[in-house]
Chains A and B, each alone.
Chain A
Amino acid sequence: MIRIAFDIGGTFTDFVLEDTRTGKRHFGKLPSTPSEPARGVLEGLGEILQRTGVPAGDVTTLLHATTVATNAVLERKGAKTALITTKGFRDILIIGRQKRYETYDLYLDKPQPLVRRRDIFELAERVHYDGRVESKAQAKEIDALLNEIHERGYESLAVSLLHAYADPSHERLIGERAAAVNGSLSISLSSDVSAKFREYERTSTAVANAYIKPLVGKYVRALEKSLAARGVNADLFLMQSNGGLVSPELAAENPIRIVESGPAAGVLMCAEVGREEGFDHVLTFDMGGTTAKLGAIDHGVPAIVPTFEVDQVRYRKGSGLPLNIAAIELLEIGAGGGSIGTTDMGLIKVGPESSGAEPGPICYGRGGTRPTVTDANLVLGYLDSKSFNGGAMPLDLSGATAGVAKHIGEPLGLEPAEAAWGIYTIANTNMERAMRIVSVERGRDPRKYTMVAFGGAGPLHACRLARAIGIPKVIVPHGAGVGSAIGLLEANSKLDQSITRVLRLAPGVENSAAEIYADLERRVQRDLDRLRSQAKPVWSRFAYMRYAGQGHEIRVDLPDGALDATFADEATKRFQEAYAQVYGYRDRGAGIEIVDWYLAATLPNTVTSGREKPALPDKAGTAKRGERKAYFPEKRGFVDCAVYDRYALARGEVIEGPAIIEERESTVLVLPGDSASVSEHGNLVIMVGDDDEGA
């Protein structure tokens, strides 16, 4: 079988072609084509097929992660969308949750909704929290609204009625009437998209789904058509934010689930690397050009969160549009290679402002004038002006040094090297803060975790970051430059459904639980049928629970098997364990509620048997390419530092820090006191020294 994975990112589209008979993989990278995303895919596909000599007809599977849904939201380029709400509640979307994301800024603005107030229509009807219908929706009134919506030229309709998670019948009636009155109108019902309580978040999710649905549908159909025209008749799968794959048909129906697909695949790659090396507790660290993304894998499984925010301002929580979608947990902050260093009040600040891809850091020589993290890495000797990007892109060291000196060194009275060290260190403290949130503050003990570092800048900063947090091991995977695309090859198909039903854990609750799960299973099964897969699903149940009286819920895995009289006790026990894990204590006396119920079905990826072990040189001791001066404050400044070629390192070869290990897409910095070795799978495993004498 031939499988091809392609991940469209903001700047590059990454490709991997895998021959499952030999385990052999080929990699490719091309600039993305944002104005016409499918074109970039087809070009890349043509290139990799030509290079490998594989006939188009031999490709059996295509795996795809795309930013097409996200970009439609960010650029406000979705469909003309209408929203129907319960009468009296027209402004749910405009009111939102009302908290400002910056306490002291009263000149800020709220996230701009995807529809305007004029696009919102009210329907007389009322359902209560327990599903009781107080006043019935009238078909005649619905038809009148739908006619108006049709006449005003809307392409897509979102429906979000109060308590529709408890009784969706009114929303469904609107869906049925819409199909009858205006067949071309795209429909998104909140009870289908997100059957959970909290009306603003549910409405926001339904509206976002409606907004991108026509566009994603078109994209998927166009892609399938052009693939067929090229003679590729493979099964196409798309990556969702939850780290699972779905068919194009399901992705087009619920496009909101694919908004964060590329980064999710990157975390899957880390999980696979952890498996290879025998670590199932992993903190993931992906540092690219503009941001760093931090995530976690517990017991071998990427952590999933129930909500995601799109279109944030300065990565501040609450500044974007909330989406109720299961998403792989990732904390994103404005710290990347392009983040700009400045001074204020005699202090050094780094980011969130970034030089982006254009003009980029000063050292790229493309017109950048303000010093960035990448410039600092060059001045400190961690990067080399001649070997960057495999030598394809010479860097301007004197320009970087002058820029660092002018903007940081002179105002603060620091030598250029010290100033560069300042930029590097402050970028690290920003990431340290984020990593503390992902680890310590969420109940994860860093000493029990291993960091997997990737992205262009990740391996340059990983060992310092690990030291600051107390993470004992860092792994820099083999072939991490196309991490997300590799992650796609490891992905399973995965479907999940959820519903809000607030129930107290008490004897007898198992009957309600059984009903809820029967309903959820019907929903998941309906989607499974459309995946047309032969694989047997693995079911998992989990829920979001709290002590009665609290307002936030934590995730708890629920028992499999029959829902009998032992359910309440078992769920109680599991909740208390999870609570103690996060907060350090439990409260035995307090009542416990289940709020959101989840069911997930995973179709195991039977094709992959893990990554191929890369071909590495047999002979150790040939990788050293020379030495260069690099800056280590614990060594009181610049010292001679050995430089190695990663591709020339043999299995089992050990390198003591300080050392620099260069590969095409990134550079690994091994600190004094650290020790790096090449594993059986070609990954670099770095034991982090506890030598703690920083600046």
Chain B
Amino acid sequence: MTKARENLSPITLSVLWNSFISVADEMGTTLRHTAFSEAVREAEDFSTGVFDRTGRLIAQGNFTPGHLGAMPFVVKNVLKFFPEGTLRPGDGVLLNDSALGSGHFPDCFLVTPVFIGEELIGYVVNTAHHVDMGGAAPGSQKVQGVTEAYQEGVRILPVRLVRNGEFDEDILRLILGNIRVPDLVSGDLSAQRNANFIGAQRLVKLYKEYGRAQIDTAVETIFEKSEMRMRDLIRKIPDGVYSFQDQLDDCGPGDGIVTVAVDITVKDDDITADFSRSSDQVGVAINSYLSYTRAYTLFAVKVFADALLPQNDGAIRPIKATAREGSFFNPRFPAASGGRAALQIRIFDVINGALSQAMPDRAMGAFSHWSNPNIGGIDDRTGKPFIFYDLILGGYGGRSNKDGAEALSPVMNCANIPVEVHETNSPIVVRRFELLADSSGPGRYRGGCAIRKDVELQTSSAVMTLLSDRHGSAGFGLFGGGAGTIAETILNPDGEAIHMTSKEVRTLKNGDVVSFRLNGAGGYGSPTERSVAAIENDLADGYITADFAKQVYGAKRS
């Protein structure tokens, strides 16, 4: 590696670095403000980036981590289809193919080249999770019964959707003709185009102000410094191979449990996470294409190394994610992948489990796994279709110096949707929304509680698609900390009480109540080391009952 350029002032470098990040942030604000889909607005399921002429990531907006590793991969693939010289000013290329980097069809990437006159200076890119891309079920994320990507909706290999800043109406019609809610998707595509327009404008201004030579030097310096910092951080992790294994529920049903295994090799200043020992790819729509596996590997390593290190090509160079071809974490096309959002928590969990052996102070017990149900049908009140999309989010595992946070978004960073908003928009009534006592994994620092949410259908009929996990295995504790309770999804808990599987698809009738009960998060450290004061507080606040205190923490301490 060459030494950082001497002739660039650190002041100019600081200003340019801040500016690149602010360009990416401003693109994100534009996208969020003008988007229609809940996934973009509420869950911030989108991402923005600024790339150099050769397709290297200079800066990323602070939005969902899900596209971190994916976006550079997408840009490289777009450049294969459209090598330098083939794109014109005002063009924009759209892509959603799972194997080329999107991971599943709802994530559409728009790549826009930026020019000054005829000279290419870089690319601005954004990706957004669209409400629907057609296919077997609304939302294009159905897991069970979807066996290959062709059933998941419209597949877009890189196409020039934007010319001279306007949509190509023919291509747009072709796409929208395959989609259940064309107005929403077209609105969100416009939001993506607007975001890149703003980003390109700011990038041009920056280049004009500072000149190509200075910016080129700054970009190389940014990469070098970030790579050096990441390598310094990795060097602090003791060399070794750290392995961990966990599982995902049977998602078939009948496909069997999916083994999630990682072997992390730390050697000097390189780190590689290898998922090869995991199960083979599965015949339902939940496989994790390698770009997705990589995205959450980068996320997890960054969380362990330095949460606030800026994200760019340099910072991610020392981190590798691999998996055997044909395995669950590196499937072959046309593996179906719509429901892969359920995997991100487990990717983090196993990397966390492995790295806990090397960096115990940064580790935590396993998360409470979220539930992401969709209930859709006709609303009798209006005669119109509705989709109840929910994000039920539980607690964090116990940490090395404090309890796990209660009820906080794990990994991907989303807000929940208020009960009063849901009840206004959909024919459902929420009967309970509360923490479950005695659910958290005990420990010196206990895990966060499980959450229970009971939802009653108030229309004649609807189809429910579940996307959850931990119904068959508990969230582990670390260093003697206990596991939390196992998750359950129960139909009519006060009546027939049918226990459902975590990826179940089922028709509901008027008055049916679905009780979502997440798993409790894992504890950290032995429960015998928990302070008496902490146990008394838990009792006073009802996080645990007296019986549980006696049983788990011992009679004399309760």
Residue positions of A touching B, CB distance < 8 A: 88-92, 94-100, 102-110, 116-118, 128-129, 162-163, 197-200, 343, 345-349, 412-414, 418, 421-422, 425-426, 429-430, 433, 436-437, 440-441, 502, 547, 549-552, 582-585, 587, 589-590, 692, 694-695
Contact = CB atoms under 8 A, between A and B. Distances in A.
B528 to A, nearest CB: 24
Contacts of B429: 128
Contacts of A695: 9, 11-12, 15
B433 A92 contact: yes
B424 interface: yes
A319 to B, nearest CB: 12
A315 to B, nearest CB: 14
Contact of A108 (B18, B405, B416): B405
A197 B302 CA distance: 38
Contact of A425 (B15, B183, B406): B15
Nearest to B540: A118
Nearest to A549: B36
Given A97-B416, A162-B419, A425-B14, 8 more contacts: A88-B431, A95-B407, A98-B408, A98-B415, A197-B420, A198-B418, A433-B22, A584-B194
24 contacts: A88-B431, A89-B432, A95-B435, A98-B393, A98-B415, A100-B413, A105-B303, A109-B405, A117-B542, A128-B429, A197-B418, A345-B225, A348-B10, A418-B11, A422-B14, A425-B11, A426-B11, A551-B41, A551-B421, A552-B41, A585-B34, A585-B190, A585-B194, A695-B12
A426 B18 contact: yes
A236 B409 CA distance: 46
Given A107-B399, A197-B424, A102 B307 contact: yes
Contacts of A116: 540-541
Contacts of B17: 347
A382 to B, nearest CB: 17
A170 to B, nearest CB: 15
What 9 pairs between A and B have smallest CB-CB spacing? A88-B432, A117-B541, A104-B307, A99-B415, A422-B11, A95-B407, A197-B420, A105-B307, A412-B10
Contact of A429 (B18, B63, B396, B414): B18
B421 to A, nearest CB: 6
A233 B172 CA distance: 72
Contacts of B423: 128-129, 163
A550 B38 CA distance: 8
Contact of A426 (B15, B64, B209, B408): B15
Contact of A89 (B38, B64, B419, B542): B419
A162 B362 CA distance: 39
A426 to B, nearest CB: 6
Contacts of B364: 106-107
Nearest to B458: A128
B420 A129 contact: yes
B268 interface: no
Nearest to B367: A106
Nearest to A197: B420
Contact of B408 (A100, A128, A197, A582): A100
B415 A97 contact: yes
Contacts of A346: 4, 10, 13, 221, 225
Given A118-B540, A584-B194, A94 B42 contact: no
Contacts of B18: 426, 429-430, 433
A421 B36 CA distance: 44
Nearest to B299: A104
Contacts of A412: 10
Interface string B12-39: 1111011100100110011001101010
B62 interface: yes
B59 interface: no
B479 interface: no
A199 B221 CA distance: 48
Nearest to B361: A107
B543 A117 contact: yes
A278 to B, nearest CB: 31
Interface string B437-455: 0000000000000010010
Contacts of B434: 88-91
Contact of B302 (A100, A104, A163, A198): A104
B229 A345 contact: yes
B493 interface: no
A547 B41 CA distance: 13
Interface centre among A116, A551, A692 (most CB of B within 10 A): A551
Nearest to A589: B183
A225 B543 CA distance: 46
Given A103-B62, A128-B423, A197-B424, A436 B22 contact: yes
Contacts of A98: 393, 407-409, 414-416
B303 A106 contact: yes
A590 B11 contact: no
A589 B36 CA distance: 14
A502 B299 CA distance: 39
B308 interface: yes
Contacts of B393: 98
A421 B38 CA distance: 44
B184 interface: yes
A199 B42 CA distance: 16
A95 B433 contact: yes
Contacts of A441: 26, 29-30, 33
Contacts of A118: 540-542
B407 A96 contact: yes
B433 A104 contact: no
Contacts of A589: 183
B421 A197 contact: yes
Nearest to A414: B10
Given A118-B541, A346-B13, A441-B26, A100 B418 contact: no
A413 B399 CA distance: 41
Contacts of A88: 431-434, 454
Interface in B515-543: 540-543
Nearest to A443: B33
Contacts of B183: 589-590
B356 interface: no
A128 B426 CA distance: 12
Given A97-B415, A200-B418, A91 B435 contact: yes
A95 B451 contact: yes
A348 B407 CA distance: 37
Nearest to A552: B41
A207 to B, nearest CB: 16
Contacts of B26: 436, 440-441
A104 B14 contact: no
Nearest to A349: B14
Given A95-B451, A118-B542, A347 B420 contact: no
Contacts of B399: 107
B187 interface: yes
B287 interface: no
B433 A583 contact: no
B330 interface: no
Interface in B369-393: 393
A590 B540 CA distance: 51
A585 B307 CA distance: 37
Interface in B28-84: 29-30, 33-34, 36, 38, 41-42, 44, 62-65
A582 B33 CA distance: 9
A547 B37 CA distance: 12
Nearest to B422: A129
A136 to B, nearest CB: 17
B270 to A, nearest CB: 20
Contacts of A550: 36, 41
B390 to A, nearest CB: 12
Contact of A347 (B13, B308, B402, B451): B13
B289 to A, nearest CB: 22
B226 interface: yes
Contacts of A692: 209
Interface centre among B209, B418, B454 (most CB of A within 10 A): B418
